[in-house]
Amino acid sequence: MISAFGFSQKSKIDLDKIKKEVNDKESIYFYEKMVYKFQGLPKSIDSLEAIHLYYGRNYIPKTISTSDEAFKNLLEDFKLEKYDEAVVKGKHLLSTDPTNLDLLMIMLQCYDRQKDIKNFSHYLSQFQILTRAIISSGDGKSEKSAYLVNSVGDEYILINAIQIPREATRSSKSAKGGMFDIWESNNKKNYIKVIYNGF
């Protein structure tokens, strides 16, 4: 489902600039303005908007964590195959945190199990937009060009997307503003930086 991503030109992510722009009501990258477009017409989002949507999530006041009770309740419904209930809860949580990849992943799985192609396609577009933004953040070949992710959960989504082998070993190293994870397999290393929430 998520392995067929096109690799766009790598961009240097300026988190300070993103923080300023997503909170500036006059900016074309004002978060609420972009979210409206992202939810209604995800295919119209360009690569710079996608980067601001994904990394801008660090600078909005309310996000949903996998440790929140509401998220745990949603996950429980999903595990119990209560897909109708899970979809209702998922939509409610996405209204608060629309660029949450963990939530989008659950919605995709619910609609896949329900064989709801229309909704599956809509959420897949959103999911791919955000994942492409992560892939465009670097090439993973060094600390300087590491992929940047907002959370460990997003890191595992990226690992799947860029197809890091399951047998790869991970080492970690602290860094300014986050933590580097270095994934190594067959003498090849992939650097991923998990950035700390910047709000």
Alpha carbon separation from 8 to 57, 92, 190 (Å, rounded):
21, 32, 18
What is the per-residue pLDDT for 198? 53
User: The pTM is what?
Assistant: 0.89
What is the per-residue pLDDT for 61? 87
- Residue ranges of the chain with pLDDT lower than 70? 1-11, 197-199
What is the per-residue pLDDT for 37? 94
What is the per-residue pLDDT for 185? 92
pLDDT tens-place string over residues 67-120: 999 999 999 999 999 999 999 999 999 999 999 999 999 999 999 999 999 999
Closest CA to 5 of 145, 190, 146, 159: 159
The domain segmentation of the chain, as residue ranges, is 15-135, 147-195
What is the per-residue pLDDT for 196? 83
What is the per-residue pLDDT for 122? 95
Alpha carbon separation from 122 to 1, 54, 107 (Å, rounded):
14, 17, 10
Closest CA to 52 of 75, 33, 71: 33
Q: What is the CATH number of domain 15-135?
A: 1.25.40
What is the per-residue pLDDT for 20? 96
What is the per-residue pLDDT for 4? 39
What is the per-residue pLDDT for 197? 65
Question: What are the phi and psi torsion angles at 114 (to 5°)?
Answer: -85, -5
- H or E segment to which residue 171 belongs: strand 169-175
